[in-house]
Amino acid sequence: MAEPIIEAHHLTKIYNQGEVKVEALRDVSLQMWPGEFAVIVGPSGSGKSTLLNILGGMDVPTSGEVTYRGRSLQQMDEAQLTDYRRNEIGFVFQLYNLLSALTARENVELATELVAEPLGIGEVMDRVGLQQRMEHFPSQMSGGEQQRVAIARALAKNPGLLLCDEPTGALDYETGIKILGLLRELNRDYGTTVAIITHNLAVADMGDRVFRMRSGRITQVQENPEPVAAEEIVW
Amino acid sequence: MVMQTLNRRLLRTVRNSWLQFTALVVIIALGLLSLVLLTNVYQNMHVSKVEYYRQQSFAEVFASFTYQPSGYIDRLDNLPEIRRSEGRIVSDIRVDVGRDTHPTLRLVSISDENRLNRPLTQQGALPRGRSREVALLTRFAEANDIEVGDSVELIIRGEPFSVEVSALVDSPEFVYAIEDIKNPYPDDTNFGVAYMDLNLLQDLLGVPGQVNEATFLTAPGVSWDEARDAVQERMEGRGLRSVITRDDQLSHFMISIEMDFLQQFSFAIPLVFLAIAAAIIYMLISRLVKSDRVVIGVLKATGYDNRQVLMHYLKYALFLGFAGAALGMAAGHAFVGPTTELYMEFFELPLMQMRYDWTFIVVGVVLTLIFCGGTGVWAARDVLKISPADAMRPPAPPPGQRNLLEVSFPRLWERMSFSWKLVWRHLLRNKKRFALAVLGVAFTFTVVFFPFYALGVIDIMFIQQFEEFEVYDYAVSFEQPVGGEGISHVGELVQAELIEPFAEYPFNVSRGWREHNVVVRALSTDSTLQRFEDARGGIIEVPASGLLISQYLAEELGVGPGDRLTLSSHVTDGEEHTVEVQAVINQYLGSGIYMSRGQMNRLTGQHDHTGVLIQSNDDVKAALQNAANVASIYSTGDLIDVFDEFMGLVIVAYSTLILIGGVLGFAILFNTTSVSIEERAREFSSMRVLGYSQGEVYQALVRENILATAAGVILGIPLSRASVHLLVSMMQTEMFYLPPVINPGSYAIAGILVGIFTAVVMLAVRVRVHNLNLLEALSSRLT
Ligand SMILES: Nc1ncnc2c1ncn2[C@@H]1O[C@H](COP(=O)(O)OP(=O)(O)OP(=O)(O)O)[C@@H](O)[C@H]1O
Ligand SMILES: [Mg+2]
């Protein structure tokens, strides 16, 4: 197999809250391969979001190191980190975080403006099934539609790594499935590496690999030679 | 109990945005500081003035006339309108104080019988009997380094007469000591007052048993004007020159102008500050309520009622209001003493009381309650609309819509770069806030603009007045009118390039019920030393018949070209003449009426000259100081010098104004920008996560503020123009007429300063952008 796209080496993250120390991550190491679809599962508070944020250059570990295509994030200055987020990372939030003042198209433009070779807005919107709603504002769209705009926004930069923190957390079952299916499709068609956080163990079967977390550690890494399609998941 | 938790939340919010709140508190503090300071200073001055006038028995009516027997004057109290009448001599002479130029000294007689206008002794004792002693006005003595016991030489009719200074005194008549209305600023080195025994003075001047002025107290229930008219009627034909009430007495008139200003500003300024503070509070609280929607829902679900929740937000307003009020009133309290003293010193008004009026504390508290509390409740009224169920719903994104620009100018919108679209969308969605920012900038612009307007206009006034209108260097007035040989005599005494005689007499000028006492100057029609400009700015000659009137008097009397005025004078033996106004002229310093010598002859039958205008590089004051017939010498150079000294004070005042403008601008813009950042923290964080750099996020804010500043400056130009016109119309007086001419450069300078203030705000908010928490966008937590 090729070089890993991103690697974590012995990450720890300790939050100091006065007297209390919270160890959100304890010695976490992992590797992700180009084009793979990884799922991170675990109970609430187990450190999933913390891990993802550190991988995305949004947060820094207390110790340990993250290397992206061999470059250490810990060696980067603020400008280089911004470049990293700008050119390599796509992020999808649980609560969409669209800019309410901007139309769907403009929310995507917000991303395409930034990079040298973005995907076409029309194409991306077509992929998420929203070409008819391009000129709508977030307030005029349902939660699922907003999340699709958010995915389009992350994807349009044509990132190397798409990080999604509970992208279906605020959506109903049906819509959630559709969103997951969309992500899986995009992963196949564009070869984008995807990491998805979910609470839901059933979703795990969709991933090429599943990382199980508990109390700040990765307790198990499960390989799925034949991942299940989104539509087939029942939970 | 639970409210305590909410209070803690309040304090935490305040602490997190301390700079924002501090700026607001400073504005409120400035408002209450100016209230407490100005009202108390005014009160202290007012009470001191009234008390001083009462203690020294300041007269209510003043008459001046050619010498009359004092017995006749003393008997004027048999007029039913007059309670007390006292004759005295007032005569301007020159005094040798050991300098090259001899200052003008106004000799005022005193006697043991005098009860009115008693000088207040500061040092030494008043002259007794016929001893060769004088009491000098303190400020004149100090300016000339004269002490009690020193000798000075009076020059009376060309003869030196040595006297000893027995006392230093102040007088209610010379609280603001100026020689005449043509010299608007006290020039203590060159003008003073000396009190001398009546009999001695009568002997010196060769007028035994005679006086040339009378001062009166009115009978109970009689108005000053009635008393003045009665004296006028009685003395008609007895050499009466003028009768005035205290209202027109020079010193009193000048402090009244100043105190009226103080009184008007003591209410206007605090209200302006509080109104601005209210606008900011409104913005902060309504924004807080909006972002606290879920919190409010949770509170209500927990069992808080509307009143309790409303109270929570009202507390923010009251907390800030009273923090500012306490600070402002404490500082105001501390400054009352020094500021009162400064004023008192400027006016040489002995301090009769230094009181701190606590009722203004009550006024301040009430104003704070109204402005801050009232605004707080109004801004938090949306609390009532939020239901407990709101806590459970995820926040709906604020409605987006097509904006005006997009709908009206789709082409333009298409072509606009994306980052500019972002700016415009936000701006048009928060129109109220943007409007506040624009108004704030416009207001700051106006405040900052005024000093530059004023400095520019002072320049114009002086340059025009002394380079175009009053081209002469000196105006000499004679004791007694002279013929042609008298003028030649002056020509022999001074090295002059040009000498032009004039005739000047006091007139009562009226039109209908409006009247004014004016010294009318008659000049030859081809005068080159004094020239006139009409309202349109064209140079005009003195008309052979009719008169020219300065714009201030024209407005006072309500006349324009073609109207007729009624003139009467003691020189016409009270006979009235009507004369047509030929033109209204521009005159910035002083005011007056001018006519040709021929016109004056027709009114008075007088052909002699009462003075000369002189153009000369010679020190005319020194050359003429021993000349017997010289009554006074007005020097344009001295006036400019004295004025220059005052410029220091003016510049301090203006710098303060600019500073206050800056603080106001900062408080408004910093708060609008901060709210804008808070409101969009989540969006900005999302942008950062997408890969936007801090600089790029910051740039959006910078652009918004540049737009607000530009719009504010554009609005500020007409606003400051209008304010200048308003203020100027309030400030016109007999001494000054401010032309509302605005130097375009003033706009540029004010604009640059406002730009600098905006830049300071942008530097201050930079920190906030840096501190934006990236993870906030990712967190699912909402509150
Ligand atoms: N800013 C913070 N300060 C202090 N502790 C934090 C902070 N953020 C996270 N934690 C703690 O770190 C631990 C891991 O948090 P994290 O958000 O990574 O969990 P998670 O697995 O994403 O949980 P969930 O599924 O509920 O989102 C938790 O115990 C949490 O309380
Ligand atoms: Mg999480």
The tokens describing B99, both together, are 């300098």
What tokens were used for B98? 């050991």
Q: Give chain B's largest Cα–Cα span.
A: 105
Q: What is the pLDDT of residue B701?
A: 87
Residues with CB under 5 Å of ion ligand 2 are A 49
Expressed in angstroms and rounded, the spacing between residue A165 Cα and the centre of ligand 2 is 7
B563 touches chain A (CB under 8 A): no
* Buried-state track B251-262, b at ≥16 Cβ within 10 A, e below 16: bbbbbebebeeb
Beta strands in B385-489 (DSSP E): 474-482
How close A81 comes to chain B (CA, Å)?
9
For position B395, what pLDDT does the model report?
Answer: 60
Q: Establish if A117 touches chain B: CB-CB under 8 angstroms.
A: no
Q: Is A15 in the pocket of ligand 1 (CB under 6 A)?
A: yes
CA atoms within 13 A on the CB side of A143: 18
**Domain ranges, ordered by start, for chain A:** 6-88+159-232
Ligand 1 atom at minimum distance from A43 CA: 25
Q: What is the mean pLDDT of each run of 10 residues along chain B (783 residues)?
A: 68 82 92 91 90 93 92 90 94 86 91 90 89 93 93 87 94 89 83 94 92 94 93 85 90 89 87 91 89 78 78 90 93 89 79 76 90 92 78 63 77 81 84 90 91 84 84 89 88 89 91 88 91 87 93 91 90 86 90 93 90 90 80 85 79 85 89 86 84 86 91 94 84 77 87 93 87 67 39
- Residue of A26, A40, A41, A50 to test ligand 1 pocket, by largest number of atoms within 8 Å of CB: A50
Q: Is A216 in the pocket of ligand 1 (CB under 6 A)?
A: no
The beta strand positions in B231-292, using DSSP E, are 240-245
pLDDT at B783: 34
Cα–Cα distance between B500 and B530 in angstroms, integer? 9
The two tokens of residue A108 are: 């995507």
Task: Delimit the domains of chain B by residue range.
Answer: 1-60+251-398, 61-250, 414-469+640-783, 474-616
pLDDT in tens, A174-214: 888 888 888 998 899 989 999 999 887 778 888 999 999 99
Tokens 């001398």 sit at which residue? Answer: B196
pLDDT per residue rounded down to tens, chain A (235 residues): 578 999 999 999 998 877 788 999 999 999 999 999 999 999 989 999 899 989 998 888 999 999 999 999 999 988 888 889 889 999 888 877 787 778 898 888 888 888 888 988 998 898 888 889 998 988 888 888 998 899 998 989 889 999 998 888 877 888 888 888 889 988 999 899 999 998 877 788 889 999 999 999 999 999 988 888 877 765 5
Exposure on the CB side of residue B500, measured as CA atoms within 13 A: 22
Q: Are B727 and B450 in contact (CB under 8 A)?
A: yes
Whole-angstrom Cα distance, residue B318 to residue B316? Answer: 6
pLDDT (0 to 100) of residue B275: 92
User: Which residue, by CA, sits nearest to atom 12 of ligand 1?
Assistant: A24
> Smallest Cβ distance to B690: which of A53, A111, A137?
A111
The pairing of strands A209-214 and A37-41 is parallel
Cβ–Cβ contacts within 10 Å for residue B402, how many? 15
What is the phi/psi pair of residue B780, to 5°?
Answer: -90, -10
| Cα dist from B311 to B171, B289, B318, B376, B377, whole Å | 58, 12, 10, 9, 8
Q: Is A211 on the interface with B (CB under 8 A)?
A: no
Q: Is A46 in the pocket of ligand 1 (CB under 6 A)?
A: yes
C-alpha to C-alpha distance for B116 and A225, rounded to whole angstroms? 117
- Going by C-alpha positions, the residue among B517, B515, B486, B516 that lies closest to residue B501 is B486
Query: Where are the strands (E) in B264-375, listed by range?
Result: none
As beta bridge partners, residue B230 has none
Check if A114 contacts B (Cβ < 8 Å): yes
Helices vs. strands in chain A: H and E counts, helices first:
6, 10
Q: Tell me what pLDDT residue B367 has.
A: 92
Provide the pLDDT for residue B782.
Answer: 39
Q: Which of B323, B339, B279, B257 is nearest to B34 (CA)?
A: B339
Neighbour tally for B131: CB within 10 Å: 13
Q: Is B638 helix (H, G, I), strand (E, B) or coil?
A: helix
Nearest to B140 by CA among B112, B104, B108, B164: B104
Indicate whether residue A132 lines ligand 1 (CB < 6 A): no
- Residue bearing tokens 């002997």: B203
Q: Which candidate, A34, A6, A30, A39, places its Cα nearest to that of A180?
A: A39
Cα–Cα distance for residue pair B748/B713, rounded to 1 Å: 10
User: Given an 8 Å threshold on Cβ–Cβ distance, is A139 in contact with B425?
Assistant: no
Nearest CA-CA distance, residue A225 and chain B, Å: 32
CATH architecture type of domain A6-88+159-232: 3-Layer(aba) Sandwich (3.40)
Backbone dihedral angles phi then psi of residue B146, each to the nearest 5 degrees: -105, 135
Q: How are beta strands B240-245 and B61-69 bridged, if at all?
A: antiparallel
Query: Which DSSP string do the residues of B170-221 spell out, in sequence order?
Result: E-GGGSS--SSTT--S--TTTEEEEEEEHHHHHHHHT-TTEEEEEEEEEPTT
Are B502 and B611 contacting, i.e. CB atoms less than 8 angstroms apart?
yes
CB contacts of A56 in chain B (<8 Å) are: 689
Q: Quick one: which H or E segment has residue B498?
A: strand B498-511
Q: What is this model's ipTM?
A: 0.77
- Tell me the nearest-neighbour CA distance from A169 into chain B, angstroms: 10
